[in-house]
Chains A and B, each alone.
Chain A
Amino acid sequence: MDHVTLDVESRKTDTGVTVLAPVGRLDVVGAPALKEAVSEAVKDGQPRLIIDLEGVSFVDSSGLGSVVAALKQVRSSKGDLRLAAPNQQVRVVLELTTLDRVFPYYATVEEALTDF
């Protein structure tokens, strides 16, 4: 079995928002684990999803692709997605691909939960 480079923890808040917290490198090896967790999270109803990036040390184009895929999945179920707590590396990648225009990101999960 392949060693897993990305663990994804999932929890639901009192207000029904799902928070996914990947830990590790969100890259070509880790991205499938996030995709799986998102598919699970959007199964029921209109998903409101936060991806808590605090534990993500590094993201590459494959990792970004999994976040774009997550947004499409969530929006096709008439839900929404927010990103929280990206580190400097993740912010650099979002900005240079201009995906920061697509993804509103918040400094903390608590901020992302406001009015969500």
Chain B
Amino acid sequence: MTRLQSGLDTLHESVELARRHAGAGPTHELALIQFELALAEIGTNVLLYALPEDSIEPRVDFELKLEAETLTALLTDWGPPLHNQLTQAMPGLSSEDGRGLAIARKVLDELGYEREGEVNTWRLVKRL
């Protein structure tokens, strides 16, 4: 199993845990679907670009909180900066790639990115 795949497994499993704690209901389910999608999109970027398969001591920190009907995920990595991609618009219908960040921006209540020194931190917020 690749680091990418096992990293994505961890993200999906964390949303499944949140799903169990959030309670049932169609509104919650739609919000959870949207959050899981955004987390997978940002997580894929982080895992692909911050965590090359050949890096010796790869590290991505991940934290997911469900508080007061709000999901907040923090992804921290020590890879190259990615802020030049933040404002990417949704590409045309015939495009085969480039939708990831645009999707995340569209479905989240907040998408934050900070670069401090050598550290990238992504903050994803979705109200249920």
Contact = CB atoms under 8 A, between A and B. Distances in A.
Interface of A: 2-3, 5, 25, 27-29, 58, 60-62, 64-66, 68-69, 72, 88-89, 92-93, 96-99, 101-102
Interface in B10-48: 12, 29-30, 33-34, 36-37, 40-41, 44, 48
B68 interface: no
B103 A61 contact: yes
B65 interface: no
Nearest to A89: B33
Interface residues of B, number: 28
A88 B33 CA distance: 9
B59 interface: no
The residue among A2, A5, A60, A69 with the most chain B CB atoms within 10 A of its own CB is: A60
Given A29-B5, A92-B30, A58 B99 contact: no
B107 interface: yes
The residue among B37, B98, B107 with the most chain A CB atoms within 10 A of its own CB is: B37
